[in-house]
Structure 1
Amino acid sequence: MGGLTEAKLRAVAGERSFERGLGYVGAVSGVEVGDGWIRASVRGTERYEVELVPGGRGSPAGTCDCPYGQDGNFCKHLVALGLAVIGREADLSRGRESARDRARGLDAWLSGLSREDLLALVREETAEDRQLRRRLELRAASARGDLAGIRSRIRELLDIGPFAQYGHVEYADARAYADQAGQAVSAIKGLTGSGRAADGVALAREAIGLLAGLLESVDDSDGWLGRIGGDLADAHHDACRAARTDPEELAHWLVTHALDDAAALTDIDPLDYEDLLDERGMAALRRYAVDAWQVNRTGWAEKDLMHRLAKSGCDIDTVIAVHAADLAPNGHTHLLIARELDAAGRTAEALEWAERGIRETEDIATVDPVLVDHLTDRYTRAGRLADAVTLRRDHFAACRTLFTYRQLRAAASTAACWPAERGKALTLLRADAERAGPHGGRVLVDVLLDDKDVDAAWEAAGEFGAHDGQWLTLADHSRPTRPADALSVYLRLAARLTRETGNHAYEQLVSLLLSIRACHRHLGTPDDFAEYVTYLRATQKRKRNLMLLMEQHGL
């Protein structure tokens, strides 16, 4: 056990787990020592069972049944056990020898019992320990070749009844139920290991179906059932390999399973069985998948399976057919098809599908904007700059925002026709502003500001209205050139903030005061600013945080 140090624990656990483990040293109990291992219980959110392998001169390792440890991490509970035993070599040596003595004593005692006494002992223990009884029943049924008995025991192990209140397993009991369900997985693996793989295949499938039917009845927040589902998937794969399951029959089950709710439990990918299916099985897999898809062309599971099988076989035409059978009304599916064709080097077809996506969208305002980006990019690459501008113009006309305006400006600038396009775009926005009434010119003000046409933006804001953020932006852009206009904006916004409290409002107000001071400097009226600040201090003096903030900024 020598060689275990804090430095090694810190290195293998990481800084965060090590620091958290420091607080759990006092929660370590029931330390047992064996040859090369140390076991204990550590009380955390629950009581966790921990096994530490000190590693001698190498790095320590271990297992813990907490959620973090179940994922293969060296958790805080392992750190706590390691810290608890560091420097206790003499105690560990005595504990190890004591454990050996106890094991030898138990073995000697059991060996000295008569057959009748040993049977009586086992019966007594199985009467007290239901889990032990079920494990032994499974072994007995397996030894007898009693498939019906094994099936019955597995059904009992997967029954939620003993753990459920009102038909539902609560979070606190989910771990215990998963431990019991894990015994069913062990039994199935045992069948495969004992040469009865065909029975293992059948029972794995039954168990998957049973467990999938219980998902809604168990609070699996920590993913315990997900782990059991993954173990069942592994047990099924191993059994199919050992049993040399008929490829066509296996293909049919895989497709049926992939389209069933149980697929969410096991996450079985039919392509993971490719080595067991051979050429005949893979052909059957694709055939069954196509049959299912033809029955339900819009089903998510059917489309996903078809797509993955087609991609694995580099069957681009099938990929396109799957997408084309369920086209989204906003052109998104057309975009997916265009990308697939582009990747396959079929650029002309890709362009045709992208253009179809635009044409077949009833209202271009609802089109997937990524499709517009894609098609504009393809037009630009092909030197079709006029087409790129037309597309951006149509999209802007249907969806007049600052974003679509910027996109139109970029395309038209590339095509050297922005002044003319800008005039048309601004005409549309002015018409919108006139129809909308008060505050209807917000998009117009935004695009003029984005064009850095500040004077025109002031005019539009005055004529059609703007929101406070736009007025503030206008003022910030215009302090040196239009200080009087900027000052009027700042004073109005400051007056509103004087009626508010809270540090955020105070910070905004002080920022405005600094801008107001800059405007007065440009206007040559510093005395007016001093008078304003004096008035503000007199009326706002109860706001101590505001006064402190003003002093910090020399106001």
Structure 2
Amino acid sequence: MVTGSLTEAGLQALAGARSFERGLGYLDAVSAVEIGDGWVTATVHGTERYMVELTLDDLGGLSGECDCPYGREGNFCKHLVALGLTVLAQQGSLPQQREAARRRVQDLDAWLSALPKDELLALMREQVAEDRKLRRRLELRAASARGDLAGVRSRIRELLDIGPFARYGYVEYADARAYADQAGQAVSAIVALSRSGRPADAITAAREAMRLLADAVDSVDDSDGGIGQVGDTLADAHLEACRAARPDSEELARWLVGHALGEVDDGLIDIDPLDYEDVLGARGMSTLRELAIEAWRGNRRGWAEKSLMERLAKAGGDVDTVIAVYAADLTTNGHTHLIIAGELDGAGRAGEALRWAERGIRETRDLATVDTALVDYLYDRYARVARLSDAVALRRDHFRARPTLLTYRQLRAAARAADCWPAEREGALTLLRADAERHRQGPYGGPFLVDALLDDKDVDAAWQAATALGADDRQWLILADQARADRPADALGIYLRLAEPLTQQTGNTVYERLVSLLLSIRDCHRRLGTPDEFAAHVLALRAVHKRKRNLLRLMEEQGM
């Protein structure tokens, strides 16, 4: 739900410019407007017929809900804008209409209060016969009042039945909200049961409702998350009932473990066993831990078992158990080792953390696939204690397994810190040169050797490597840019080659790239003392491409 003020500016602020503009086109689609004391409802006909409601408070605040898909996501949609503008059009009479609605409510209440019991009962029976939702709510209240748990559970099963909403056995998006509203009534009944002095019965009803809701959710389009919200309130209702009823702690512990392992609702309803610590007490928590350990030992790689064990161990400050849980299912890329190292660091056990990180590197089958965060972690630990040779060796091994510009830079930084970069650089370039000789220019770009040399600002060596082994257009452009001051003739040849294919293409992005190259070409001619050649080149270019107005405009802006 979104809130704001009932003004045109307020509506625009709530909806945003786009929805506000679209809402202007729906003014004629608003019908059945009903103004109450603090609310306005209407029907707005769009792709379908939507029910729209604005809520007004006494301070002028405004909120709105619409059952269109966009509105269900909590947005102030175009249908709400249309109703808001319709109300604004009659704003002068709005206070009187709200007052009239207030008087109607008061008159109705006075009339109902004055009715004899028989007439009031007759009226209620008439409404119950016509309104199925009202009948179900009252049946739940009646069953609860007379202590009829079987009746309450029967009504709850009806409320959670998807049958009335399902087409071909599935509740479509358009009907999902209505089903979620009805399922919410079941939860309300469970809460009422608990608060009326029947919390033990409420526990039984809540657990049954969890199973029924879990069975239903696979057959409902819950894109809006309505069923998930019902599940959250159902979990709260169960906890409230347990705190009131104080059930057997060992039985509750067994149920909580079963729920956590997916034996109850397969994860639809999120229940944290630790929320029940005050209900379980020392004996129940002991049982909970014993059952969790037993389950984990039976399936050390099970996600639910690991999650439960980890949660309980962390809550109890049991770092060794947390580590044991992770260590039972180590990943092959060192990620789990890194998590363990982090847990040990948090417990002040830095030496053990370092050993786990080193173990992660050793046990990684292929350093090309190692979790790079583990490499960074271990490097940082080596650097802190001045183990510089180990830090360099780590970066060297990672670079050799995974030669990228990043790993090259990391090796360079480590080697410079250890004052051994010249030797390390020669080894790294030898590896890159051999790799370039094997692959030459591949489908994904030029030799990585060229990039490394460019990053070292060794332009001459990069130029030689590009000439001998080839380079892609990106690399040649960088080379030309960096060499232009000292080798303008060589750079000019590159710029002209890169510009030629662009002259055969169209589009503003192409024109911007072409003009950028022309600026570089002009600078080369200036350095070579041949500005007349550039002027002739531009003149010929303008003559051939005179229909490309945007290109000519960009050239004129640069004085060409």
Same fold by TM-score greater than 0.5: yes
Contact 1:503–1:546, Cα closer than 8 Å, also in 2: yes
Aligned counterpart, 1:289: 292
Bigger shift: residues 233-242 or 207-216: 207-216
Distance (Å, rounded) in 2 between the aligned partners of 1:70 and 1:290: 43
Distance (Å, rounded) in 1 between the aligned partners of 2:196 and 2:515: 81
Aligned counterpart, 1:175: 177
CA positional deviation for 1:527: 1.2
Is residue 80 of structure 1 aligned with residue 78 of structure 2?
Answer: no
Distance (Å, rounded) in 2 between the aligned partners of 1:256 and 1:206: 14
Report the CA distance shift for 1:536/1:434 in structure 2 as closer, same or farther (over 3 A): same
Aligned counterpart, 1:518: 523
Pick from 374, 378, 382: which aligns with 2:385? 382
Bigger shift: residues 153-162 or 19-28: 19-28
SS in 1 for 2:471: coil
Is residue 446 of structure 1 aligned with residue 451 of structure 2?
Answer: yes
Distance (Å, rounded) in 2 between the aligned partners of 1:72 and 1:191: 31
Distance (Å, rounded) in 2 between the aligned partners of 1:530 and 1:21: 54
Is residue 247 of structure 1 aligned with residue 249 of structure 2?
Answer: yes
Pick from 209, 220, 231: which aligns with 1:207? 209
Is residue 543 of structure 1 aligned with residue 555 of structure 2?
Answer: no
Pick from 353, 368, 371: which aligns with 2:371? 368
Distance (Å, rounded) in 2 between the aligned partners of 1:513 and 1:72: 53
Report the CA distance shift for 1:301/1:151 in structure 2 as closer, same or farther (over 3 A): same
SS in 2 for 1:265: coil
| Aligned residue type for 1:54 | D
TM-score, normalised by the number of residues in structure 1: 0.90
Report the CA distance shift for 1:431/1:227 in structure 2 as closer, same or farther (over 3 A): same
Contact 2:14–2:76, Cα closer than 8 Å, also in 1: no
| Aligned residue type for 2:210 | I
Report the CA distance shift for 1:166/1:73 in structure 2 as closer, same or farther (over 3 A): closer
Report the CA distance shift for 1:191/1:75 in structure 2 as closer, same or farther (over 3 A): farther
Is residue 399 of structure 1 aligned with residue 402 of structure 2?
Answer: yes
SS in 1 for 2:41: strand
SS in 2 for 1:245: coil
Aligned counterpart, 1:157: 159
Pick from 93, 100, 106: which aligns with 1:100? 106
Distance (Å, rounded) in 1 between the aligned partners of 2:243 and 2:12: 39
SS in 1 for 2:170: coil
Contact 1:237–1:273, Cα closer than 8 Å, also in 2: yes
| Aligned residue type for 2:387 | R
Aligned counterpart, 1:223: 225
Aligned counterpart, 1:472: 477
Aligned counterpart, 1:136: 138
CA positional deviation for 1:264: 3.7
Bigger shift: residues 396-405 or 123-132: 123-132
Distance (Å, rounded) in 1 between the aligned partners of 2:9 and 2:283: 52
Distance (Å, rounded) in 1 between the aligned partners of 2:414 and 2:307: 36
TM-score, normalised by the number of residues in structure 2: 0.89
Over residues 122-169 of structure 1, what are the superposed CA-to-partner deviations in whole Å (9 max), with x where a residue is unaligned? 444333221122112212222232211211111111011111111111
Pick from 242, 255, 260: which aligns with 1:258? 260
Distance (Å, rounded) in 2 between the aligned partners of 1:28 and 1:50: 14
Report the CA distance shift for 1:127/1:99 in structure 2 as closer, same or farther (over 3 A): closer
Aligned counterpart, 1:40: 41
Distance (Å, rounded) in 2 between the aligned partners of 1:49 and 1:275: 42
SS in 2 for 1:213: helix
Contact 2:36–2:97, Cα closer than 8 Å, also in 1: no
Aligned counterpart, 1:112: 116
CA positional deviation for 1:472: 0.7
Distance (Å, rounded) in 2 between the aligned partners of 1:47 and 1:400: 61
CA positional deviation for 1:304: 1.6
Aligned counterpart, 1:322: 325
Bigger shift: residues 504-513 or 131-140: 131-140
Contact 1:185–1:235, Cα closer than 8 Å, also in 2: yes
Distance (Å, rounded) in 1 between the aligned partners of 2:138 and 2:540: 90
Report the CA distance shift for 1:531/1:72 in structure 2 as closer, same or farther (over 3 A): closer
Report the CA distance shift for 1:9/1:181 in structure 2 as closer, same or farther (over 3 A): farther
Over residues 513-534 of structure 1, what are the superposed CA-to-partner deviations in whole Å (9 max), with x where a residue is unaligned? 1111111111111111112112
CA positional deviation for 1:83: 5.1
| Aligned residue type for 1:545 | N
Report the CA distance shift for 1:325/1:14 in structure 2 as closer, same or farther (over 3 A): farther
Aligned counterpart, 2:486: 481
| Aligned residue type for 2:116 | G
Contact 1:230–1:265, Cα closer than 8 Å, also in 2: no
SS in 2 for 1:219: coil
Distance (Å, rounded) in 1 between the aligned partners of 2:317 and 2:241: 30
Pick from 58, 61, 82: which aligns with 1:54? 58
Aligned counterpart, 2:356: 353
| Aligned residue type for 1:277 | L
| Aligned residue type for 2:336 | T
Q: Percent same amino acid among aligned pairs?
A: 61
Distance (Å, rounded) in 2 between the aligned partners of 1:72 and 1:414: 55
CA positional deviation for 1:327: 0.1
| Aligned residue type for 1:80 | G
SS in 2 for 1:217: coil
Over residues 361-401 of structure 1, what are the superposed CA-to-partner deviations in whole Å (9 max), with x where a residue is unaligned? 12222211111111111011011000000111111111111
Report the CA distance shift for 1:84/1:333 in structure 2 as closer, same or farther (over 3 A): farther
Distance (Å, rounded) in 1 between the aligned partners of 2:126 and 2:537: 94
| Aligned residue type for 1:167 | G
Distance (Å, rounded) in 2 between the aligned partners of 1:534 and 1:68: 57
Report the CA distance shift for 1:62/1:531 in structure 2 as closer, same or farther (over 3 A): closer
Contact 1:42–1:50, Cα closer than 8 Å, also in 2: no
Report the CA distance shift for 1:473/1:62 in structure 2 as closer, same or farther (over 3 A): closer
CA positional deviation for 1:62: 6.0
| Aligned residue type for 1:97 | R
Contact 1:171–1:219, Cα closer than 8 Å, also in 2: yes
Q: Which runs of 5+ in 2 are unaligned?
A: none
Distance (Å, rounded) in 2 between the aligned partners of 1:42 and 1:445: 67
Distance (Å, rounded) in 2 between the aligned partners of 1:44 and 1:314: 59
SS in 2 for 1:326: coil
CA positional deviation for 1:21: 7.2
Distance (Å, rounded) in 1 between the aligned partners of 2:513 and 2:342: 48
SS in 1 for 2:218: helix
| Aligned residue type for 1:271 | L
Distance (Å, rounded) in 1 between the aligned partners of 2:266 and 2:311: 15
Distance (Å, rounded) in 2 between the aligned partners of 1:543 and 1:69: 47
Distance (Å, rounded) in 1 between the aligned partners of 2:16 and 2:484: 56
Q: Which runs of 5+ in 1 are unaligned?
A: none
Distance (Å, rounded) in 2 between the aligned partners of 1:48 and 1:176: 15
| Aligned residue type for 1:202 | T
What RMSD over aligned residues (CA atoms) do the two structures have, in Å?
A: 2.9
Bigger shift: residues 60-69 or 371-380: 60-69
Aligned length: 541
